[in-house]
Amino acid sequence: MSGTNDMRRRDFMTSSGVALGLGFLGLQRVVQQAAAGTGTLASDYGPLKTDPSGVIDLPEGFSYSVFSLNGEEMDDGLLVPGLHDGMAAFPIDATTCLLVRNHEVNSGHEPRYGPFGLQNERLGNVPPELLYDPGTESGTPSLGGTTSVLFDLKQQKLMRHWLSLAGTGHNCAGGPTPWNTWLSCEEWTQRADDRHLRDHGYAFEVPVTSEPALCTPRPLTDMGRFYREAVAIDPSTGIVYQTEDRQDSVLYRFIPDVPGSLHEGGRLQVLAIADQDQFDTRNWNHDGTDMMLLGQTLPVCWLDIDDVESPLDDLRYRAYDMGAARFARSEGIWMGEGALHFVCTTGGRAQLGQIFTYTPSPDEGGPTERSSPGTLNLFVETNDGSLVNNADNITVAPVGDLFVCEDGGGSNGMARVTPDGVVTRFAENRMNDSELAGPCFSPDGSTLFVNIQRPGLTIAITGPWRSA
């Protein structure tokens, strides 16, 4: 791997890894307090203030700006797609960052949610070779993909925005790479048929650039084809961990042949609990007994799986038959310092969510891994929806506070969890009942970005962030 990639990898760890570990240590204490009925609320940011503009409620002293709304014309002549979802912020210079943002739109959505106009009249703006799936003569183009947004942190305003990945579908979450790209994931396993020219269900790598450009859409086929949600990469090994938004999902690991060069191929594996085939982490047993207890740590092993492009969309079934562990809608995922954390949105007795911590082996992916295995820990199981209701996307502030978006029924917002285990509401969607999605902090820590998914807009939040 090049020296440039190594430097970016170290920067990635410094900016996000340490904080994440601290945030999750706090979150475990929150859940334990909640189970005992003694959950506490932080008061340093204070209660939420009703937003007179009816967009988002925030604590006193915080302000926001709204930009890049669904339907606005962008700098490339295309329109901002709708259903804004997963997102990350990348440094450009001292006062500018670039957001790369997913759009959870596919060929079944109304054209108003896509980038090409109400009659797809702007489709000609996109060179055919840069459109992953243009659709057949009797179909329509896939409307998903990513937009890139250049943002001025000093003036807190949009500079320019453009389509950066086109013709993919239902791009839900993804993840940043240590080498400064974005992996966009299709939560959609549509097969080629009389309306679609290409199979879907892949991850795509999107470069970070401040100049408007569409990338060449190349699916990362060796990483598997499934109903994919998000990814996180261990900077020390280059291994990619992947979640799957299914009620009977498994956890995937991709070991690249060349770390940092995912298109050069690699091996796909699935997680199993050592010596316990088909372990069910969901804790849905009707008799009230749990397969996995809060705080329990179990050794794991990883199993090779073949036929990874899975024309029958059966990777998770074949994995379970091999002995893989089962999870309940694994969604948000993030790599901290020496540990991987991922959310299962409907896990637990109350089906309100779980958060697991995976600690890699000292020889992760290597020949001695079996003798010193990685471990899986049930870090969080939420049974009180007033604390965190169906956790989905997550991000971490520079000081270690964890910000958790909800995707539950009724009102959705964002919870904040401090490193010492205190939880409070940080934001509430005042516009509608849509989920908030794609939270991420600017590289300088000054701004928290988040999307209101439906119909689609991005919010930049500033204020008196805690400094210690």
Q: Which region among 13-27, 101-115, 212-226 has the lowest average model confidence (pLDDT)?
A: 13-27
* Cα separations in angstroms, 363 against 14, 133, 340, 390: 22, 40, 15, 34
What are the chain's domains? Answer: 3-462 (2.120.10.30)
| The dihedral formed by the CA atoms of 330, 334, 339 and 344, expressed in degrees to the nearest 10 | -20
What digits encode the pLDDT tens for the residues 48-64? 999 999 999 999 999 99
**Predicted confidence (pLDDT) at residue 16 exceeds the cutoff of 90:** no
Name the nearest CA neighbour of 241 among 229, 228, 232, 249: 232
What digits encode the pLDDT tens for the residues 224-279? 999 999 999 999 999 999 999 999 999 999 999 999 999 999 999 999 999 999 99
Prediction pTM value? 0.89
Listed in sequence order, the residues at least 6 apart from 23 whose beta carbon sits closer than 8 Å to its beta carbon are 396, 397, 400, 401, 402, 417, 419
Residue type, 375: T
Residue 417 tokens read as: 């969890």
Asked if 438 and 100 touch (Cβ cutoff 8 Å), the reply is no
**Predicted confidence (pLDDT) at residue 31 exceeds the cutoff of 70:** no
Asked if 344 and 353 touch (Cβ cutoff 8 Å), the reply is yes
As a whole number, the mean pLDDT across the chain is: 88
